[in-house]
Amino acid sequence: MKNPLETLFIPAGILLLGFLSALLLPAPTFGIRVARRIMTSFHLMDINQLYTIVFTLWFLLLGILEYMLIRFVWRRFIQPTSRS
Protein backbone atom coordinates (compact mmCIF):
# COMPACT_ATOMS: atom_id res chain seq x y z
CA MET A 1 0.00 0.00 0.00
CA LYS A 2 1.26 3.46 -0.89
CA ASN A 3 1.72 6.19 1.66
CA PRO A 4 -1.03 8.84 1.35
CA LEU A 5 1.54 11.58 1.91
CA GLU A 6 3.73 10.42 -0.99
CA THR A 7 2.49 13.30 -3.14
CA LEU A 8 3.93 15.70 -0.55
CA PHE A 9 7.16 13.77 0.00
CA ILE A 10 8.23 13.90 -3.64
CA PRO A 11 8.38 17.73 -4.03
CA ALA A 12 9.78 18.15 -0.52
CA GLY A 13 12.50 15.63 -1.29
CA ILE A 14 13.38 17.37 -4.54
CA LEU A 15 13.67 20.74 -2.79
CA LEU A 16 15.72 19.31 0.07
CA LEU A 17 18.15 17.63 -2.30
CA GLY A 18 18.36 20.84 -4.31
CA PHE A 19 19.33 22.76 -1.18
CA LEU A 20 21.92 20.12 -0.32
CA SER A 21 23.32 20.46 -3.83
CA ALA A 22 23.78 24.16 -3.20
CA LEU A 23 26.31 23.24 -0.54
CA LEU A 24 28.13 20.53 -2.49
CA LEU A 25 28.18 21.36 -6.19
CA PRO A 26 29.18 24.61 -7.88
CA ALA A 27 26.66 26.29 -10.15
CA PRO A 28 27.59 27.33 -13.69
CA THR A 29 29.08 30.78 -14.23
CA PHE A 30 29.26 32.84 -17.41
CA GLY A 31 31.76 35.30 -18.77
CA ILE A 32 30.78 38.96 -18.98
CA ARG A 33 30.05 38.83 -22.71
CA VAL A 34 27.87 35.73 -22.47
CA ALA A 35 26.04 37.08 -19.43
CA ARG A 36 25.26 40.37 -21.17
CA ARG A 37 24.09 38.54 -24.29
CA ILE A 38 21.74 36.38 -22.21
CA MET A 39 20.51 39.42 -20.30
CA THR A 40 19.63 41.28 -23.51
CA SER A 41 17.95 38.26 -25.11
CA PHE A 42 15.76 37.59 -22.06
CA HIS A 43 15.25 41.32 -21.26
CA LEU A 44 16.67 41.04 -17.74
CA MET A 45 17.41 44.14 -15.68
CA ASP A 46 20.79 43.23 -14.20
CA ILE A 47 23.23 40.37 -13.74
CA ASN A 48 21.87 39.56 -10.26
CA GLN A 49 18.51 38.68 -11.77
CA LEU A 50 20.23 36.43 -14.32
CA TYR A 51 22.18 34.52 -11.69
CA THR A 52 19.13 34.18 -9.43
CA ILE A 53 17.32 32.42 -12.27
CA VAL A 54 20.37 30.32 -13.20
CA PHE A 55 21.01 29.19 -9.61
CA THR A 56 17.35 28.36 -9.02
CA LEU A 57 17.10 26.24 -12.16
CA TRP A 58 20.49 24.60 -11.52
CA PHE A 59 19.69 23.52 -7.98
CA LEU A 60 16.19 22.32 -8.85
CA LEU A 61 17.62 20.27 -11.71
CA LEU A 62 20.24 18.74 -9.42
CA GLY A 63 17.61 18.03 -6.78
CA ILE A 64 15.43 16.23 -9.31
CA LEU A 65 18.35 14.14 -10.59
CA GLU A 66 19.47 13.21 -7.10
CA TYR A 67 15.93 12.35 -6.03
CA MET A 68 15.40 10.10 -9.05
CA LEU A 69 18.74 8.36 -8.48
CA ILE A 70 18.07 7.75 -4.78
CA ARG A 71 14.51 6.60 -5.55
CA PHE A 72 15.80 4.16 -8.18
CA VAL A 73 18.40 2.71 -5.81
CA TRP A 74 15.84 2.40 -3.02
CA ARG A 75 13.21 0.66 -5.13
CA ARG A 76 15.67 -1.55 -6.98
CA PHE A 77 18.06 -2.70 -4.26
CA ILE A 78 16.99 -1.73 -0.73
CA GLN A 79 13.18 -1.83 -0.41
CA PRO A 80 12.04 -5.09 1.12
CA THR A 81 9.63 -7.03 -1.02
CA SER A 82 6.28 -7.88 0.53
CA ARG A 83 5.49 -11.57 0.53
CA SER A 84 1.93 -12.78 0.82
Residue-wise pLDDT tens for the chain (84 aa)?
A: 577 777 788 888 878 877 777 777 777 888 999 999 999 999 999 999 999 999 888 888 888 888 888 888 888 888 777 554
Contact criterion met (CB below 8 Å) for 21 and 59: yes
Largest CA distance in the chain: 63
Which amino acid is residue 17, in one-letter code?
L
Contact criterion met (CB below 8 Å) for 17 and 62: yes
**Would 35 be classed as within a structural domain?**
yes
**Would 6 be classed as within a structural domain?**
no
Total domains present in the chain: 1
Which residues constitute the domain of residue 42?
29-76
Contact criterion met (CB below 8 Å) for 6 and 43: no
Q: pTM of this prediction?
A: 0.67
**Would 23 be classed as within a structural domain?**
no
